[in-house]
Structure 1
Amino acid sequence: MIGRILVALGGTEYTLVAIDTAVALAKQHNAELTGVTVMNTERLRRIGPVPMGAGDIAQQLRDERVALSREAAELVISRFQQACTEAGVKHSVLHEENDEAAHYLIQLSRYHDLAVIGLKAAFDYGVEGTASDPVKLLDRLITGGVRPIIAVPNTPFDAKRALIAYSGSMESARTLRHFLNSDPWPGVETRIVTFGKDNEENQALLSDAVAYCASHGRTVEAEVIDASPNKGLLEEADRWDADVIVLGNSHKSLLMRRVLGETVLHIVQNSEKALFLGQ
């Protein structure tokens, strides 16, 4: 069940898609939305070394950077509120100026069922050097337990086909479970793929996944693809014309790969399709 959705509001085209996606989900599930803007005014006021005698100009620049960010945030808030009002969706807005984006969203996620965020741009209000790195932000959100996350592209999409990458790991199984239990797009055509040799082990893996989907009333296609997931997943998503890719971590290693996994990290960096991320 989806009752409350968290929406990251930045100043780019990714946010416009996030708003449209979140509003559609809220209408589908009779959920309420919480739109969030986050800017760190301390970071905005950092402009580097100031030459002697240029203190007044430096202060003017600091104030201008903050003012521009606030203006951009107000514009996107207005767009969010208008979209919600026109759709008859219950909504609220939170504006944070002192915290880091990841930390703030992690706190808010405790009382939200789903987060919608731009895939390659988040909390970017047009001031150079102040936007959150979207890949690092996703990494920190998943590390902090924010799941599931729908990361949207910068072009509108209609979720008619969902491609699920399944490795059999506990993390991958949790993602499948999140997707089925939350059921963000009821009736979406679903296909499960695993990567490697077409042998008994992988066929059994898919058979179990298909049976689990059936227990949730979902009929799915399934296939073993003889390719690496890094290369094969995006190719298969394009070939099958998927609208959403569903995936979770399959293994752990250093830095961002510790949480996101190499495959997830590669897809986040290279996908132009919406992602449903869970773990």
Structure 2
Amino acid sequence: MLKRIVLVLDASTAGKIARTYTFDLAKQYKAEVLGVAVLDTPWLTAPQPEPLGGSAFKIQADEAIVRSTQSHIDELLAEFKTVCKQEAVSFQALEIEGFPANEIEMASYQGDLIVLGKTTDFHFELDGHSDSTVKHIAHDNPRPLIVVPAIPEKTNTIVVAYDGEIQSARALHMFLLLNLGKGKHLHIVNVNDDPQEGKELISLALKLCESHGVKAEGKILKKSHSTGESLLEFSDKIKAEMIVLGSFGHTLIRDVFFGSCSKMMLKKSRVPLFIHH
């Protein structure tokens, strides 16, 4: 059951989209939202080449940057609190100092689910937007996470990438335990050139969905191109509102979450990705 959502607060456009998505999710499941903002002082004050005698200037410059960033964070947290009150969403706000990925992972121990945009900006445009924090958290996966690229159309249709490995089985199980499958129609997708093998693997997932009272059907896709591309094409075809992934399986996710395919999934998916392993 979903009780508390850990929402990553940052200055990116993707972060704003993730906030809207989180508020809708919180209202739907009557969950509390823990908004987490991180003051990234390790990056803001990182050593840089400087001329002889320039250390005093560097200290002053660092202090000014930290003060400016702190001001932005204060505004971000104030806006978060205001919107939560307007949306009648139960909330807590937390500011932490340190490396964003590490601090967010530690904060996530207080919640059931992490939600963040597909890119983040903790430096308020000092260095542009980045997906490094997203990749770090997806790799460590201290809690299930939803990476939000855009607000999806509500079709109640979910694609579950299922290769029969333990990671994809865990992802589906956690998705069901959090009750995110309630009222949804799940498509359990296996990319396989052997239809019989695919059918046998999918049957296990269908039985699990049945035990949770969730409507589901199986789909076997032939390996015409990469697994990631196949998943995205099928997701677009049936107008899925989310894709469920186990992030480090032996076949499916090795293809999806390493190298160019990883970047393609995070960049090109038009719907949120639920990631757990």
TM-score, structure 1 normalization: 0.86
**Partners of 2:236 and 2:78 in 1: how far apart?**
35
- In the alignment, which residue of structure 2 is the partner of 1:49? 49
- In the alignment, which residue of structure 2 is the partner of 1:74? 74
Following TM superposition, by how much is the alpha carbon of 1:185 offset from its aligned partner in structure 2, in angstroms?
5.8
In the TM superposition, what whole-angstrom CA distance separates every residue of 1:47-84 from its partner, at most 9, and x where no partner exists? Answer: 61222354554344323322332232223212211221
Following TM superposition, by how much is the alpha carbon of 1:129 offset from its aligned partner in structure 2, in angstroms?
7.2
Q: Does 1:58 align with 2:58?
A: yes
**Partners of 2:131 and 2:188 in 1: how far apart?**
32
**Partners of 1:245 and 1:36 in 2: how far apart?**
25
CA spacing shift, 1:250–1:129, aligned 2, 3 Å: closer
Following TM superposition, by how much is the alpha carbon of 1:124 offset from its aligned partner in structure 2, in angstroms?
4.7
**Partners of 1:149 and 1:81 in 2: how far apart?**
22
Unaligned regions of 5+ residues in structure 1, if any?
Answer: none
Structure 1 stretches of at least 4 aligned residues deviating more than 4 Å after TM superposition = 53-57, 129-132
Identity percentage of aligned residues: 28
Summarize the alignment of residues 242-261 of structure 1 with structure 2, pairs less than 5 Å apart.
242-251=240-249, 261=254
**Partners of 1:261 and 1:75 in 2: how far apart?**
40
CA spacing shift, 1:229–1:264, aligned 2, 3 Å: same
Name which of 159, 165, 176 aligns with 1:163: 159
Farther off after superposition, 47-56 or 8-17: 47-56
Following TM superposition, by how much is the alpha carbon of 1:92 offset from its aligned partner in structure 2, in angstroms?
1.1
- Secondary structure of 2:50's aligned partner: coil
The count of residues paired between Structure 1 and Structure 2 equals 269
Summarize the alignment of residues 1-279 of structure 1 with structure 2, pairs less than 5 Å apart.
1-46=1-46, 48-55=48-55, 57-97=57-97, 99-121=98-120, 123-128=122-127, 133-142=132-141, 146-153=142-149, 155-160=150-155, 161-184=157-180, 186-227=182-223, 228-251=226-249, 261-265=254-258, 266=262, 267-279=265-277
**Partners of 2:163 and 2:28 in 1: how far apart?**
30
Code of the residue aligned with 1:272 in structure 2: it is R
8 Å CA contact retained: 1:12, 1:124: no
8 Å CA contact retained: 2:118, 2:131: no
**Partners of 1:38 and 1:136 in 2: how far apart?**
17
8 Å CA contact retained: 1:25, 1:184: no
CA spacing shift, 1:52–1:278, aligned 2, 3 Å: same
CA spacing shift, 1:204–1:107, aligned 2, 3 Å: same
Code of the residue aligned with 1:190 in structure 2: it is L
Unaligned regions of 5+ residues in structure 2, if any?
Answer: none
Code of the residue aligned with 1:273 in structure 2: it is V
- Secondary structure of 2:219's aligned partner: strand
Following TM superposition, by how much is the alpha carbon of 1:278 offset from its aligned partner in structure 2, in angstroms?
1.1
